[in-house]
Chain A
Amino acid sequence: MTQSDQYNFAYLDEQTKRMIRRALLKGLAIPGYQVPFASREMPMPYGWGTGGVQVSAACLTPEDTLKVIDQGADDTTNAVSIRKFFERTAGVATTEHTPDASLIQTRHRIPETPLTQDQILVYQVPIPEPLRFLEPRETETRKMHELQEYGLMHVRLYEDIAQHGHIATAYAYPVRVEGRYVMDPSPIPKFDNPKLGDCPAIQLFGAGREQRIYALPPYTQVVSLDFDDHPFDPSKADHDCALCGAADSYLDEVIVDDRGGRIFVCSDTDYCAGRRAETGGPE
């Protein structure tokens, strides 16, 4: 008996998947609103992507092709582990190639290759509440969302500018969805924020430990918070990729010796490999 015989397709039982799908539908109907859901204990720890895994499990069908990335890469340990989990429990096809995937689960990045209407992007979310570090109480933050009381967030961003000359948030940069809810885009670098809006794919966000699901339907308006005189700046390292030469992709800094030597390479390994294959660059 293989492992997959002992568990339902994609691990979760159908009742649980239904419960999650209801939360997803509600999330899609109210873009950016955090829907409480009865998150289950998963066979990987909270913080390892249990929210994303539950959302993926609820969305997967046997015909799907799954891609899993962590930090933009398909071969980081946790991406490998989650991909194996679904290979074992759902038996779905997997790919590392962004255009071939129908469902992509991600931690901390949005793929560089533009997504399409046939794709779902599932984010793993640690702290879904964008106001959490301004107000630790859930009862309070829910009220703030109800009343669209987002002044505190603007004050914080303003204080950053007063103190540092910049908004000192480099990742998990807050956004406003369709002029209504302020939303945490998960800890993606702010470089990725412009890809959130007007995206043809469905974007789903799962926070397992915090028991929240939220969503962006296709072509939703998503605006990074800023000020007229301090417009949002999706910055990245001021280099080109050392492997594929891309000037438009988000770069990881890799330390190559103990004398301060470093190179910058694409964090999206599939994008980088694809470019190298086209140009015959280094493997």
Chain B
Amino acid sequence: MPLQTQLPTWTAIAPTVLLGLTALVLLLVDSVDPDSTRPTALAAVSVGGSVATLAVAGWYLLAGTGQVGGAIRLYGGSLVIDGLSLFFTVIVASVVAMVSLASHDYLQDRTYQAEFYSLVLLAATGMSLMASAGSLATVFVSLELASLPSYALVAFLKKNRGSVEAGLKYFLVGAVSSGVLVFGISLVYAVTGSLLLSDVATAIGDAGDFVGVAGIGVVMIAGGFAFKTASVPFHFWAPEAYEGAPAPISAFLSSASKAAGFAVAFRVFAVAFPLDAVVPMGIDWPLLFAVLAVVTMTLGNFAAATQENVKRMLAYSSVGHAGYALIGLAALSGGGPNGDVMGASMAHLLVYGFMNTGAFLFIAMVERWGLGRTFEDYNGLATRAPVACLAMTVFMFSLAGLPPFGGFLSKYALFYGAIQGGFWWLAAVGAINSALSLFYYSRVVRAMWIEDPVDGDGVDLGATPLGLYVAVLIAAVGTLALLPAFGPVVETAQSAATALFA
């Protein structure tokens, strides 16, 4: 515990502050000479800032900040630093580091690069705040801080119809679901008289005649989070946005933004609506999430199976994975091994952060090479870019949950936790969906390695985009390394989640 004893408490927020500062430094670097862009300097600052955040958050996590001796509460409890917030900050920072590294090549010869990087970092700041939000007010503010830059980033390719349409759709659905969320918050506030999660928890048991109001509030809050995590029923922006957005942004949104959505959902539901108090009142939110989980994973998988466009397939697969992660909110019961289930879900989101980011960054690389978007366009790619295709193969099999990759172990832990909690049917649906998902993931692998290229082997892919390559390889190494190193990860996640229920 070096931190709590040797540094003032407010330093616990350092990872989030570092992300925000990096965004400002990026704007500063750009304003030194507004007429010229320095892509390398911008990418370096962005990568450096996110790696520094990763290092600090990782150090805090290992040192036990906010875990040993209870969570650190700042600003009257509006911000809470504990294992959960640090864990998700690690996920967000890792994704931002990989995405920034890849964007260096992706953005080549584009304008507004500084704005791009700083918007990414600002959104990441919001996501990190979401993970630490201790009151419903900070929940809403941080969610907006994460969302608003994301809208702009999706529409970043402003001369591309798909990108602009995706941005608009994302914005409209986002605005509606923000409204739903804030209305839900107001209903909960009306019943409990507080926005602080811990106070809501104590007051909601005495809701009395207002149980119905509280229940509607809870459902509406769940709806707001469903938007951020791309879950049914607020999922339909996701395929559009992920497909239309620049591929690094798709990676960022589908990995980091989804994880942050889960972070805030985990905390709000576990802390503010304790199972022992609300389930007897009839507000059975785990049941709600169980239904959402089943529908989300099934819908995501079946929609993904019918796609011809690889990026869109990955977008739907991302919806499917939101369904798996929702098990962490669904397979809960009073007295059950709730911390273990939620922790397994957190660990899955970390592994997902690597494998899914890697997959979208591979698509970014394919877009950079100027190849098409359908499965056929990937035919025979392995003969031209074997190393990158090997990495993509790792991502696909890991997403499908095959051993020997990280995704296998994290899905295993998740389904296993669900069974332990008595939700074997949830695990069964998950396992069946996971088996079906192999169909469309293996299509990519098949196209790359087994099919013959349509236009012969001779096409030159051009210069190797070094940053993209390195980012994809880092993601692949991470996906592989999370198999042997899964033990400490899942233990950290489970103890963080258990602390939430305590």
Do A and B originate from a single complex?
no
